[in-house]
A and B are shown apart, each in its own frame.
Chain A
Amino acid sequence: MTDQTLHSPAPRRTATRSFRNLKRGQAVIVAALVFAALMALNAFLSPYPLSYFDVSFLASGGATTAIAAAGQTLVILSGGFDLSAGAVVSLVNAVLATSMDPSNMEASVPLWTAIGIAIGMGVGAVNGFFVAVMRLQPIVVTLAVMFIVQGLTLLIMAMPGGFVSPTLASTYLGDTIPGLLPAPVTLLLVLVALWLWLKRTAYGVTLYAVGSDPEAARSTGLRTRTVTFATYVLAGGLYGLAGVFVSAQTGSGDPLAGNALLLPTFAAVVIGGTRLGGGKGGVLGTILGAYILMIVVNLLLSLNVSAYYSTIAESAVLLIAVLAGSLSKDSTLSLRLRDLSDALSARRKGWLVTQRPAEDRRLAFTRPSDTAPRLSFMQKYGHTLRHALPAWLCLALVLIATQAVLGNVFTGWRYWDSLLVLSSFLAILALGQGAVILTGGLDLSLPWCIALSGVLLTGLVGGQDMGLLTALPVVFAVAAVIGLANGLGVVALGLSPIVVTLAMNGILQGAALIWSGGTPAGFAPPVLRWMMTGKVMGITPVILFMVVFTAFAILLLGRTAFGRRVYAVGNSELAARLSGVRTGRVIVSVYILSALCAALVGVLLAGFSGQASLGMGDDYLLPSIAVVVVGGALITGGRGHYAGMLGGALMLTAMQTLLAGTALPFAFRSVFFGLVILMAVIALRE
């Protein structure tokens, strides 16, 4: 790129090129400007002048997220997704804190740093092997590895404690040049320098190529597999370094230290202008993104924003930063605005397709043939079976294992009743999340959509059955609005579904806190409790409801025009649009469907527990994705069947039931759970 600029013949072209480079760096520049503005605002609001100490502290405060997010950036650039980032940070922290010798105050910094990075790279190599060599979907591989690593961490360290040598702290938190350059800043500068070098190597070019178009990259003869593998290893190394940094910062270990870092790393990557899906962005923007996130926390305190509003404010920053970073003449938002004005002027002139008389204009030779060739059973359903069956086979295995270990599976109804009731939540979520994933999206706003719906319901019904008549419509109307907002964010603003729904999740969290005042009031009405815990001829009523729901879901996705459009959009949005599918409407509808399913789960969960609680949706996000993928769906969209997802929901619930029934320590259960998910997706391999 530089070479071309140097050799370009005319000065005019140089000018346009540097302008283009500027455009290319727009996201990073915007991030830098936002960061500078927030920093200035923060300094202005603080009663004390910003001292070197403060800068040093801010630098170290954001460094862990920044380093981990840098690793995440590499994976995202390659078109992947790494959910194991936070777990690796915890693992390294736990290993360091348990294996350092408390009597040795002079432990070698390079040695322990190398150990931390090596551990991270080891986990990265596992991720890389399954993604690059076995060609499994990154999101599932890293989800399974996340569970396994979390379990291992708890095996190594059951509770916070341990010892980390102070030499680590003095190296990583001290000063490179006292009074001028804090060590964390140096560390980040070194990382940026390494990145700028790496970007120009063959590896870097291939990384961008793989992220932009893996097929094209492979056809060009690039070593895509090696590069993908190396990316996960490098990313793992960076998580390891973040773990070393946390250890230095805290002087001890905490087996849960890094787990909360996962979502902030995504936010940092996205704010920094890296495109989810790959091929565009870089580490520099990500590091700025991480510091923007951090400075927002300080600002909220200076401005004395109520804690209830803090997640809303953070979501707003996320959305604004991403929008500002992508704003241009060709961005989706401007395209949509132009479309809108074109449509309006066309309507005025009467040119719009819908304004023309509705008559059949098909050409003669496109007349459908009178007889369709009969397909054999395997031709018709083989494809579906191929992807839906593994989940059911795994379920059968888990059931046999449960019978062997705990018994009472095939001898009575009790086990089946529990299994079906407990899996109903995931089975319902699977329809919504599944439909979104079929279009190639992802809905991360489920947890707080569930919680808000539950809290709204119990707050509105006042414990009376009659209250349901007014409360249910309100709850589902709110959910529909949430889904509509998600869908419009994706379609009209052109933002990545992950960004929109992540921000929505934060907004809903704030909304639920404000509405409930921190403690949800009220109870689920008796009829709802009866539905989840009562019995009709020995069967819990919700199971009968689920039979109807399953039939509805299979018909909706498999037999309706809506279902066909969903698959069409997932296979190729462009092809679908050119075939006359109103892709925007389809995408908005799946998000509405997803929000409605989440609301239904919130209502049922409230009935199950008798009340609503604010954290009640937290445990359902990752399983909802796992269920869909284990059930045979492709995370990039276009492939999957509800029958498989249902099998996935039953399988995961049966697995959890089996693990809960044993007296195995939690750490082992987590490892087993991860292994089973991994095995299920290996079974799904093409």
Chain B
Amino acid sequence: MIGRFLAGTACALALSAGAAQAQDEGAPYDIYLSMSYIGNDWQAEASNMVKALAASSDYADRVNLEVQVAGPNAQRQIQQINAMVQAGADAIVVFPISPTALNSVVKSACSRGVTIIAYDAEITEDCAYNVTIDQAEAGRETAEWLVDEMDGEGDVVMVTGVPGTSVDTARTSAAKEVFAQHEGINIVGEAVGMWSQAVARTELNKLMATRDWSDIDGLWMQVGCYTANAMQLEAGREPSELLPCAGEGSNGGRIQMLPADTEVDGASAPYAPMGAPRISYASPPYSGALALKLAVDKLDGKDIPEHTTLPLPLVTNETIELCETGSWDEQKAGCNAFQPGLVSNPGWFASIFSEELPQLGLNAALVGQPES
């Protein structure tokens, strides 16, 4: 215990010393971003938004940002973080591949006075800061919505995320708890969706090989509602017959939620308004950018909370609203879905609005360009 306390103090001392030094010189902070896999939409948006924030007029002179990608291998991320520390990082913003595997390297980075902030997933080491949503709440709220939509009765198909991760386990078990409380709800099928629309389609195809869509009353998914709606249309069902689906915050899914007579640019079925009954939730991709902002605050000597819980972005058919341009101001006024003409990829995540980041609008997430 004493050792730990001492280490903590040393860490704090080193931190304040580092911060004071940087301020004296007026030099920008060296901040590193260690991402996991690239090549999925969420990661690309998160990285775009981090880059946009670093390029915005508020931060351009203050931050030197360097981005590295570790892939799916935690061992590599450990090496990478250590290499960043060796290269003289002031702070490291990290998308942790494993909540636990990084603990020792994070601890040693802290002891060298480097601020570590994790986004989206958590690092359990005490000296790290975390920026996440409440995953269990996400699972619970969406499951409760689905139960209400189904009037507490019927057969549910679940499509989960990547098995063995904390995020998937927290969401899925919270949802299952809700379903278990309602006797009328039966889970008739459970597929592993790996958080990918493509995998969701393959798995749903396997699930539906021995069933008809009319045998099912509701869908609970982590990613895949957009695909499930598309598949129902391909199977010849009318848009009015679409099953209620609790799922991800992709723009394609949001556009499908709009009433069928909404006028949008560049829509083509199934990426088109159809009044699909949905609740849409997401881990917002701006969490990385917020982590960067917090890192700068921390280096400036401000106090930041150890755990920042982001408000859970939930959108239902009642609250869905189309944006014209997608600027931050417009989103602040309440819109939460983007024109297909602007966002050509339906799998793209639409929960990009943060009260605290007026630098970031649609262009930040799309191409890494800040509002100002």
Report A's interface with B, CB cutoff 8 A.
46-48, 54, 57-58, 61-62, 64-65, 153-154, 157-162, 169, 173, 246, 249-257, 260-261, 264, 294, 297-298, 300-302, 304, 307-308, 310-311, 402, 406-409, 414-415, 418-419, 421-422, 463, 512-513, 516, 518-523, 533-534, 605, 608-611, 613-616, 619, 656-657, 660-667
| Cα distance A311–B69 in the bound complex, in angstroms | 10
| Cα distance A440–B227 in the bound complex, in angstroms | 40
| Cα distance A106–B80 in the bound complex, in angstroms | 31
Tell me the smallest distance from the CB of B49 to a CB of chain A, in Å.
13
Offer 16 A-B interface pairs, CB within 8 angstroms, sorted by A.
Answer: A46-B86, A57-B105, A64-B75, A154-B164, A157-B164, A250-B104, A260-B74, A307-B69, A406-B210, A422-B202, A518-B44, A519-B348, A522-B344, A523-B344, A611-B347, A615-B40
Q: Which of B43, B88, B103 contacts A47 (CB 8 A)?
A: B88
Let me know if A609 and B163 touch, CB within 8 A: no
Known contacts A169-B104, A257-B101, A304-B66; A518/B38 CB under 8 A: yes
Q: Mark B183-204, 1 if CB is under 8 A from A, else 0.
A: 0000111111000111101110
Chain A residues near B346 (CB-CB < 8 A): 611
Chain A residues near B197 (CB-CB < 8 A): 609, 611, 613
Q: Which of A302, A307, A512, A661 contacts B209 (CB 8 A)?
A: A661
| Cα distance A426–B85 in the bound complex, in angstroms | 45
Q: Mark B67-102, 1 if CB is under 8 A from A, else 0.
A: 111011111101110111011100000000011111
Chain B residues near A422 (CB-CB < 8 A): 202, 205-206
Let me know if A252 and B347 touch, CB within 8 A: no
Tell me the smallest distance from the CB of B148 to a CB of chain A, in Å.
23
Let me know if A173 and B69 touch, CB within 8 A: no
Let me know if A298 and B83 touch, CB within 8 A: yes
Q: Kindly name the residue among B35, B82, B165 whose own CB sees the greatest number of chain A CB atoms within 10 A.
A: B82
| Cα distance A611–B40 in the bound complex, in angstroms | 13
Tell me the smallest distance from the CB of B96 to a CB of chain A, in Å.
10
Q: Kindly name the residue among B75, B105, B187, B206 whose own CB sees the greatest number of chain A CB atoms within 10 A.
A: B75
Task: Check B330 for interface membership: any CB of A closer than 8 A.
Answer: no
Chain A residues near B71 (CB-CB < 8 A): 260, 311
Let me know if B44 and A667 touch, CB within 8 A: no
Chain A residues near B209 (CB-CB < 8 A): 408, 414-415, 418-419, 657, 661
Let me know if A611 and B345 touch, CB within 8 A: yes
Tell me the smallest distance from the CB of B226 to a CB of chain A, in Å.
9
Task: Check B305 for interface membership: any CB of A closer than 8 A.
Answer: no
Chain A residues near B163 (CB-CB < 8 A): 154, 158, 666-667
Q: Kindly name the residue among A302, A310, A518 whose own CB sees the greatest number of chain B CB atoms within 10 A.
A: A518
Nearest CB in chain A to that of B103: its residue: A251
Report B's interface with A, CB cutoff 8 A.
35, 37-41, 43-44, 47, 66-69, 71-76, 78-80, 82-84, 86-88, 98-105, 108, 124, 160, 163-166, 168-170, 187-192, 196-199, 201-203, 205-212, 227, 230-231, 234, 268, 270, 344-348
Chain B residues near A605 (CB-CB < 8 A): 198
Tell me the smallest distance from the CB of B120 to a CB of chain A, in Å.
14
Chain B residues near A250 (CB-CB < 8 A): 74, 98, 100-104
Q: Which of B66, B68, B75, B211 contacts A260 (CB 8 A)?
A: B75
Q: Which of A160, A418, A519, A533 contacts B206 (CB 8 A)?
A: A418
| Cα distance A157–B71 in the bound complex, in angstroms | 23
Chain A residues near B74 (CB-CB < 8 A): 250, 254, 257, 260
Let me know if B40 and A251 touch, CB within 8 A: no
Known contacts A54-B86, A252-B124; A415/B80 CB under 8 A: no
Tell me the smallest distance from the CB of A379 to a CB of chain B, in Å.
40
| Cα distance A496–B170 in the bound complex, in angstroms | 44
Chain A residues near B43 (CB-CB < 8 A): 518
Let me know if B206 and A656 touch, CB within 8 A: yes
Chain B residues near A304 (CB-CB < 8 A): 66
Let me know if B75 and A261 touch, CB within 8 A: yes
| Cα distance A406–B169 in the bound complex, in angstroms | 27
Q: Which of A47, A58, A619, A664 contacts B87 (CB 8 A)?
A: A47
Let me know if B39 and A297 touch, CB within 8 A: no
Known contacts A609-B197, A615-B39; A519/B205 CB under 8 A: no
Known contacts A158-B169, A660-B191; A302/B87 CB under 8 A: yes
Let me know if B39 and A415 touch, CB within 8 A: no
Chain B residues near A54 (CB-CB < 8 A): 86
Q: Which of A609, A614, A661, A666 contacts B189 (CB 8 A)?
A: A661
Let me know if B84 and A301 touch, CB within 8 A: yes
Chain A residues near B268 (CB-CB < 8 A): 463
Apart from the given pairs A159-B169, A256-B98, A661-B189, 8 other A-B contacts in the complex at a CB distance below 8 Å: A159-B164, A257-B74, A257-B98, A260-B73, A414-B208, A519-B345, A615-B40, A661-B206
Let me know if B41 and A519 touch, CB within 8 A: yes
Let me know if A160 and B189 touch, CB within 8 A: no
| Cα distance A602–B84 in the bound complex, in angstroms | 37
Chain A residues near B187 (CB-CB < 8 A): 663
Known contacts A519-B41, A615-B39; A301/B83 CB under 8 A: yes
Chain B residues near A616 (CB-CB < 8 A): 198
| Cα distance A298–B87 in the bound complex, in angstroms | 10
Q: Kindly name the residue among B67, B102, B160, B345 whose own CB sees the greatest number of chain A CB atoms within 10 A.
A: B345
Chain B residues near A402 (CB-CB < 8 A): 210
Nearest CB in chain A to that of B344: its residue: A521
| Cα distance A516–B192 in the bound complex, in angstroms | 26
Nearest CB in chain B to that of A249: its residue: B104
Let me know if A614 and B101 touch, CB within 8 A: no
Nearest CB in chain A to that of B197: its residue: A609
| Cα distance A443–B183 in the bound complex, in angstroms | 51
Tell me the smallest distance from the CB of A660 to a CB of chain B, in Å.
4
Q: Which of A418, A534, A662 contacts B205 (CB 8 A)?
A: A418
Let me know if A660 and B344 touch, CB within 8 A: no
Chain B residues near A260 (CB-CB < 8 A): 71-76
Known contacts A518-B39, A663-B188, A666-B163; A415/B101 CB under 8 A: no
Let me know if A608 and B166 touch, CB within 8 A: no
Let me know if A421 and B205 touch, CB within 8 A: yes
Chain B residues near A65 (CB-CB < 8 A): 75
Chain A residues near B165 (CB-CB < 8 A): 159-160, 256
Chain A residues near B98 (CB-CB < 8 A): 160, 250, 254, 256-257
Chain A residues near B208 (CB-CB < 8 A): 414, 418
Chain B residues near A252 (CB-CB < 8 A): 100-101, 103, 124
| Cα distance A57–B109 in the bound complex, in angstroms | 11
| Cα distance A662–B190 in the bound complex, in angstroms | 7
Let me know if A660 and B38 touch, CB within 8 A: no
| Cα distance A428–B88 in the bound complex, in angstroms | 50
Let me know if B169 and A46 touch, CB within 8 A: no
